[in-house]
């Protein structure tokens, strides 16, 4: 029986692709171009996510935040961010480093998996999760695994990806079976890959650093106090990496970067 068509289909029934397995890799996102207009659209989507910006008094808080976002941030930040993107943008391919490496990663994973349709998407920007879920469905995928490309879990990242996946599924008449892939912050293969990367880069130096900084993207401390496991998982990744490299505490230190706003974030700051 051809597993790519409906079994025992009546004469004249259209061929329907089905029976395949799909894998969707999802990263954070990137503007479509290093321009203020494109950055503004990206930031608007990103900073409008209730998982990213958690507020007390949901309705009133959201209205107040949207006033700040649209009235101040989106009129100031895009120009500065666009200038920064222009420094790292691949003008020939018209893509950011994140888009480039996410695409390459999906291709490499696909080359290792037989009979699995591998696609990639961005939580914010393009290609969207909705677009790629429908692509996999059209390719005949009745089983889809979704992997958010964040080793450490946070409601602001991993949960936001799965929120969007489930939102899209609600719009689909014929839904595929779905599985989400959990965090891998302490997976041995991940730790080994990090350690190998550190050793490779240390080998290019003509001097030995006194300390290496493992700098993670930060979160507001209030998110941690409400039960977000991100800080703990970053700490475990750092500890396991330190052990893999046979280093002491002071030789590999955990810090947090990209603080935004006025409230306290996870410390120590990078």
Q: What is the pLDDT of residue 251?
A: 97
Cα distance between residue 121 and residue 146, in whole Å: 10
Cα distance between residue 230 and residue 51, in whole Å: 14
Number of H helices, E strands in the chain: 9, 6
Residue 145: other Cβ atoms inside 10 A: 17
Residue 209's nearest CA partner among 251, 254, 240, 270 is 251
Q: What is the pLDDT of residue 8?
A: 62
Three-state SS at 257: strand
Q: What is the pLDDT of residue 7?
A: 56
**DSSP assignment of 169-221:** HTT-SSPPEEEE----TT-HHHHHHHHHHHHHHHTT-SS--S-EEEEEEP-BH
In CATH, the architecture of 188-257 is: 3-Layer(aba) Sandwich (3.40)
Q: What is the pLDDT of residue 1?
A: 44
In this prediction the pTM is 0.89
Q: What is the pLDDT of residue 61?
A: 77
Residue 44: other Cβ atoms inside 10 A: 16
Residue 221: other Cβ atoms inside 10 A: 16
Residue 223's nearest CA partner among 130, 160, 144 is 160
- Strand 141-148 and strand 20-29: pairing? parallel
Peptide bond into 266 cis (omega under 30): no
List the chain pLDDT tens, one digit each, 270 residues. Answer: 445 554 566 776 566 667 899 999 999 999 999 999 999 999 999 999 999 998 876 677 778 888 989 999 999 999 999 999 999 999 999 999 999 999 999 999 999 999 999 999 999 999 999 999 999 999 999 999 999 999 999 999 999 999 999 999 999 999 999 999 989 999 999 999 999 999 999 999 999 999 999 999 999 999 999 999 999 999 999 999 999 999 999 999 999 999 988 889 999 999
Three-state SS at 91: coil
Let me know: does 151 contact 183? Beta carbons within 8 Å.
Answer: yes
CATH of 20-29+95-180, one of 3.40.1390.10, 2.60.40.2130, 3.40.50.1400, 3.40.109.10: 3.40.50.1400
């Amino acid at each position: 029986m051809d597993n790519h068509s409906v079994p025992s289909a009546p004469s004249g029934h259209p061929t329907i692709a089905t029976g395949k397995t799909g894998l969707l890799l999802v990263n954070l996102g990137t503007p479509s171009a290093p321009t203020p207009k494109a950055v503004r659209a990206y930031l608007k989507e990103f900073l409008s996510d209730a998982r990213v910006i958690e507020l007390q008094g949901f309705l009133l808080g959201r209205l107040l935040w949207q006033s700040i976002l649209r009235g101040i941030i989106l009129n100031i930040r895009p120009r500065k961010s666009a200038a920064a993107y222009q420094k790292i943008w691949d003008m020939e391919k018209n893509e950011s480093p994140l888009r480039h490496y996410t695409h390459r990663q999906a291709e490499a994973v696909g080359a290792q998996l037989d009979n699995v349709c591998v696609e990639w998407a961005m939580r914010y920007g393009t290609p969207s999760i909705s677009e790629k879920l429908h692509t996999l469905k059209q390719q005949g995928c009745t089983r889809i695994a979704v992997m958010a490309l964040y080793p450490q879990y946070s409601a602001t990242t991993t949960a936001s990806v799965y929120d969007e996946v489930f939102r899209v599924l609600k719009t689909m008449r014929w839904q595929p079976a779905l599985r989400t892939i959990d965090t891998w912050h302490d997976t041995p293969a991940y730790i080994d890959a990090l350690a190998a990367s550190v050793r490779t880069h240390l080998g290019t130096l003509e001097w030995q650093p006194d300390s290496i900084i493992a700098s993670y993207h930060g979160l507001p401390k209030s998110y941690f106090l409400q039960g977000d496991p991100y800080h703990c998982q970053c700490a475990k990744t750092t500890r396991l990496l330190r052990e893999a490299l046979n280093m002491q505490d002071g030789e590999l230190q955990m810090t947090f970067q990209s603080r935004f706003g006025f409230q306290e974030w996870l410390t120590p700051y990078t």
